[in-house]
């Protein structure tokens, strides 16, 4: 397939314009774009905001989807276009909405679709509202794990003295913890979330070294007051 302009690049994929209002997300790492596409189609069928996917044009490494316009929520936050309050409320609302969607495969009644990387750089603020991208970690399981991972990713930025995001992340984490309330379980899911982040080959050693402090910060915010 002929690819055009590079419109975005993350740690695991490059995203190219391919015309007709579509983009192609091409993995640089070994991952299964088909599984991701099926999950995106499933949540879309339940009314959740994701880019429309095009199965006929996608392959195991290339995901073809609608091109979105607008900044990511992280860019909007850092540019001062939205505040921590709105960002935290939007993230919590997206997590709650996602967790109302039934699982596709699991027979465990409490299992739901989990994104497992739902942070402000994976939400694009389009003219039609926030849309969630980057479903490469998505799977089914306990919603509390998804909430724990979102909080942990933000907490890692909050405790990172080297990061220019630290202050914004701290304010955002406080709002998210308040909004998620009981859904942010300070127990088991945080250890599970930490183990997953520690095993993520996309993280630097410095990022992994922040995990304990990040977990402690969440426990302080989410613990019994």
Ligand X SMILES: Nc1ncnc2c1ncn2[C@@H]1O[C@H](COP(=O)(O)OP(=O)(O)OP(=O)(O)O)[C@@H](O)[C@H]1O
- Whether residue 173 contacts residue 154, with contact meaning beta carbons closer than 8 Å, is answered with yes
- Closer residue to Mg ion, CB minimum distance, 10 or 83: 10
- Candidates 10, 70, 71, 83; binder of Mg ion (CB under 5 A) is 10
> CA–CA separation, 111 vs 141, rounded Å?
5
Residue 146 Ramachandran class (φ > 0 left, ψ -120 to 50 alpha, else beta): alpha
> CA–CA separation, 58 vs 24, rounded Å?
8
Q: Which does 8 bind (CB under 5 to 8 A by kind): Mg ion, ligand X, none?
A: ligand X
- Closer residue to Mg ion, CB minimum distance, 73 or 221: 73
Q: How far is the CB of 187 from ligand X (least distance, A)?
A: 27
Q: How far is the CB of 13 from Mg ion (least distance, A)?
A: 8
Q: Which does 136 bind (CB under 5 to 8 A by kind): Mg ion, ligand X, none?
A: ligand X
> CA–CA separation, 8 vs 163, rounded Å?
21
Q: Which does 70 bind (CB under 5 to 8 A by kind): ligand X, Mg ion, none?
A: none
Pairing verdict, β 13-19 and 22-27 = antiparallel
> Where does this chain bind ligand X (CB under 6 A)?
7-13, 15, 23, 25, 51, 65, 67-68, 72, 121-122, 133-134, 136
């Amino acid at each position: 397939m002929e690819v055009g302009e590079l419109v975005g690049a993350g740690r695991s994929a490059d995203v190219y314009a391919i015309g007709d209002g579509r983009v192609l997300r091409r993995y640089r790492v070994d991952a299964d774009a088909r599984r991701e596409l099926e999950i995106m189609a499933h949540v879309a069928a339940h009314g959740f905001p994701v880019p429309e996917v095009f199965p006929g044009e996608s392959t195991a490494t290339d995901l073809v989807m609608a091109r979105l316009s607008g900044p990511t929520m992280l860019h909007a936050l850092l540019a001062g276009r939205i505040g921590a309050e709105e960002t935290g409320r939007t993230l919590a609302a997206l997590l709650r909405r996602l967790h109302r969607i039934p699982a596709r495969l699991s027979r465990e009644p409490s299992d739901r679709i989990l994104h497992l990387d739902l942070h402000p750089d994976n939400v694009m603020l389009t003219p039609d509202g926030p849309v969630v991208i980057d479903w490469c970690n998505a799977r089914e399981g306990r919603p509390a794990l998804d909430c724990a991972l979102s909080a942990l990713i933000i907490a890692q930025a909050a405790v990172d003295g080297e990061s220019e995001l630290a202050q914004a992340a701290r304010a955002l984490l406080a709002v998210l913890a308040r909004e998620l309330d009981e859904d942010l379980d300070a127990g088991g899911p945080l250890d599970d979330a930490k183990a997953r982040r520690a095993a993520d080959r996309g993280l630097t050693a410095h990022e992994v070294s922040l995990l304990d402090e990040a977990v402690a910060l969440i426990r302080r915010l989410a613990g019994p007051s």
